[in-house]
Structure 1
Amino acid sequence: MTEVKATMAGSVWKIIAEKGKTIKSGEDIAILESMKMEIPITSSSDGVLKEWKVTEGDFVDEGDTIAIIE
């Protein structure tokens, strides 16, 4: 199990990957918006996207868990 973490504080602008999708390491799964910049959040491992811990519009701090990949 891998926890995908926010790399910086910001709002979850867009969720790209759907729950249940097979994800490859380095694949973008969501986009954060911070200070008018779009920051892609990528998976650090291969696996299946088991769970989202956020929804679009949520605010996250750096280090918050965004998704779980198994």
Structure 2
Amino acid sequence: MGQIVANMAGNVWKVLVKPGDQVEEEQDVVILESMKMEIPIAAEVAGRVKEIKTNEGDFVNEGDVLIILE
């Protein structure tokens, strides 16, 4: 079980996975938009997406949980 967190503040531009998806280590799962740049957020560990804690368009702060893996 693990969590994927935002590494910087920004708007959630796109969520690339859905609950039940299997993700691999280093796979991009969310794209944040900050300072007019798109920043991909990658999974640090492999796992299955249990829950998505954010929606496209939401503002997140550094350290906010984006996705929970099981």
For the superposition of Structure 1 and Structure 2, which TM-score range results when normalised by the shorter chain?
over 0.9
User: Is 1:16 paired with 2:11?
Assistant: no
Corresponding letter in the other structure for 1:43: A
Unaligned runs of 5+ in 2: none
Percent of aligned positions that are identical: 50
TM-score (norm 2): 0.97
Q: 2 CA distance for matches of 1:8 and 1:57?
A: 15
Query: What's the CA shift for 1:19?
Result: 1.2
CA distance in 2 between counterparts of 1:66 and 1:40 reads: 12
Equivalent residue runs for 1:1-70 within 5 Å: 1-70=1-70
Structure 1 stretches of 4+ with a deviation exceeding 3 A read: none
Q: What stretches of structure 1 of length at least 5 have no aligned partner? A: none
CA RMSD of aligned residues (A): 0.5
